[in-house]
Amino acid sequence: MVTITGVLPRSRAAKNGILPGDILLEINGFPIRDVLDYRFRLTEKSVTLKLHRAEQLLEVTIRKGEYDDIGLEFQTPLMDKKHRCENGCIFCFIDQNPKGMRDSIYFKDDDSRLSFLHGNYITLTNLHDEDIDRILEMHISPINVSVHTTNPELRVKMMKNKRAGDVLSYLKRLADAGTKLRGQIVLCKGINDGAELDRSLNDLCAYYPALDSVSIVPAGLTKYRDDLYPLEAFTPEECRKVIEQIGAFGDACMEKHGERIFYAADEFYVKAGLPLPDGEYYGEYSQIENGVGMLTSFQEEFHSMLRMLDEDEKPQCREVSVATGEAAYSMISGLAKELERECPGFTCHVHSIKNNFFGGHVTVTGLLTGQDIAEQLSAPEKKLGEILCLSRTTLRSEGDLFLCGMSPKELEEKLGVPIVFTDTDGAGFLCTLLGIE
């Protein structure tokens, strides 16, 4: 049961007398616990809501279009609290955050509803048979799963959860029912790589076609790992071997199924010093949110927009700057030079920002802090131009603060230059640089 916090004016709910403060118990006889129950039961053309108001039970029947909303609002998008992660993963990035940050940064979620609604990856350890039954009944798809390893004993060791091995059986239940699955493996040097990675990739092949893709990403390591499980970063040579290993499985799947299935994260290629595959290699970019094909897609979008530029969109005199993480610096610098050649009146200064806040092993742009940007761009020799462009991923989801707690306004004041945030697609990035809509 959930409390209704708002009723939209002139909505079907309002016209039927439903009020804020009413408690929603059931729809068509089915109990409502959260957003999944609510959305699924609301798809009927006729819905009877059982409500609790003060000391009385009420029933309201509403007729509507099959997928129409009725105008109810709830305290949170999930209609209850996020499910907290019950694991103690040896590679957990949240455990590697410094002290003194916002409380929300230390919250670990492992919520199957967020997998469906927002694409979050879940470990399955928070699920039980009845939860799988509900997923199958509601035909929820895709389900994004943090697999890490298919070795049950090793999974227990890596995740420090005694259920971690047993819940791997849910993969077969979901796949057999036709639920689309997407997997993720966070690769830890000397733990689940090498022969263990071979085993995992081989086992996961069996879930095709329900399992359409698996990303293999390196564990993120910050400098705050005191008293945590000892992990080491992959060397460039080891990154090359990982890419080769994953590529061999991908090639075999491509030959057998016409789909590659297994993909190494861009970070492996950058650290190995290897060129990124082209867009065709990544198919539909199903793992792009995991950093797989993100750089290739960015370049393709940039070049596509560059080819469409009209002469009147090319600035006669414009000087800007970009601050980016070390991983993307080479690519961003190359794109900026191309844009300068295409637009003779345009100048772009690209600055690589070392992540001192989290430590040298963290090189992605999305984890840059205002603190590091301010310190490294304050020197007089750092040319910033008319504006400083930053990726929107450097801000938290509300768009108001960097991870360190600094606001964009504070950073502007420290650097004395307006800041413009760019989208994560290459076309939007180009338009931001040139100042065009």
**CA–CA separation, 65 vs 45, rounded Å?**
5
pLDDT given at position 336: 96
Beta bridge partners of 24: 2, 51
CATH number of the domain at 428, please: 3.40.50
Predicted pLDDT of residue 163 = 95
83 lies in some domain: no
Helix (H, G, I), strand (E, B) or coil at 317: coil
Please tell me whether residues 171 and 258 are part of one structural domain.
yes
Taking alpha carbons only, the member of 120, 89, 140 closest to residue 289 is: 120
What does the alpha-carbon distance between residue 324 and residue 385 come to, in Å, rounded to a whole number? 16
The pLDDT value recorded for residue 321 is: 97
- One pLDDT digit (tens) per residue for the chain, 437 residues: 789 999 999 999 999 999 999 999 999 999 988 888 888 888 889 999 999 998 899 999 999 888 899 999 988 776 667 667 888 999 998 888 887 776 666 566 665 566 555 567 889 998 899 989 988 988 888 889 999 999 999 999 999 999 999 999 999 999 999 999 999 999 999 999 999 999 999 999 999 999 999 999 999 999 999 889 999 999 999 999 999 999 999 999 999 999 999 999 999 999 999 999 999 999 999 999 889 999 999 999 999 999 999 988 888 899 999 999 999 999 999 999 999 999 999 999 999 999 999 987 899 999 999 999 999 999 989 999 999 999 999 998 788 899 898 999 999 999 999 999 998 899 999 999 999 87
Q: What pLDDT, on a 0 to 100 scale, did the predictor assign at position 353?
A: 97
Judged by phi (left if over 0) then psi (alpha if -120 to 50, else beta), residue 134 lies in alpha
Backbone phi and psi for residue 353, each to the nearest 5 degrees, phi listed first: -105, 120
Q: Report pLDDT for 105.
A: 63
Question: Residues 154, 15: one domain?
Answer: no
User: In angstroms, rounded to a whole number, what is the distance separating the alpha carbons of residues 350 and 330?
Assistant: 9
C-alpha–C-alpha distance, residues 23 and 375, integer Å: 52
Q: What is the CATH number of the domain that holds 167?
A: 3.80.30.10
pLDDT the model gives residue 8:
93
Distances (CA, A) of 94 to 97, 393, 403: 6, 17, 12
CA distance 143 to 181: 5
Residue 85 lies in a domain: no
Q: Is the pTM of this model over 0.75?
A: yes
Domain count for the chain: 3
Q: Which residue matches tokens 């916090």?
A: 5
Do 357 and 397 reside in the same domain of the chain?
A: yes
For residue 329, tell me if it sits in a domain: yes
Site of tokens 């964009």: 408
- Check whether residue 303 and residue 375 sit in a common domain: yes
Same domain, 204 and 343: no
Of 290, 321, 342, which one is at a domain's C-terminal end? 290
Query: In sequence order, what are the residues at sequence separation of 6 or more whose Cβ sits closer than 8 angstroms to the Cβ of residue 43?
Result: 66, 67
Given 290, 311, 326, which residue is the final one in a domain? 290
- Does residue 88 form part of some domain? no
List of residues 6+ apart from 76 with CB closer than 8 A? none
Q: Is residue 80 part of a domain?
A: no
Domain boundaries, position 398: 299-434
- Same structural domain for residues 192 and 309? no
**Is the same domain home to 339 and 314?**
yes
Evaluate whether residue 82 is within a structural domain. no
Residues 424, 398 share a domain: yes
- DSSP code at position 48: E
- CA-to-CA separations, 208 to 72, 80, 127, 291, in angstroms, rounded: 40, 34, 22, 22
Handedness of CA 207, 208, 210, 216 (dihedral sign): positive
Distance CA 123, CA 83 (A): 12
Integer CA distances (angstroms), 118 to 75, 281, 362, 396, in order: 18, 25, 25, 15
Let me know whether 132 and 235 are in one domain: yes
Q: Say which CATH number the domain at 59 has.
A: 2.30.42.10
Burial 355-367 (b: 16+ CB within 10 A, else e): bebbbebbbbbbb
- Write the CA distances from 152 to 161, 200, 274, integer angstroms: 11, 11, 33
Residues 256 and 344 in one domain: no
Amino acid letter, 219? A
Contact 7, 73 (CB under 8 A): yes
> 6 lies in a domain?
yes
Sign of CA dihedral 16, 22, 25, 30: positive
Same structural domain, 218 and 133? yes
Shared domain for 59 and 102, answered yes or no, is: no
The C-alpha atoms of residue 261 and residue 283 are separated, in whole angstroms, by 10
In a domain, 180, yes or no: yes
Among residues 40, 74, 108, the one where a domain terminates is 74
Residue 156: count other Cβ atoms within 10 Å of its Cβ: 17
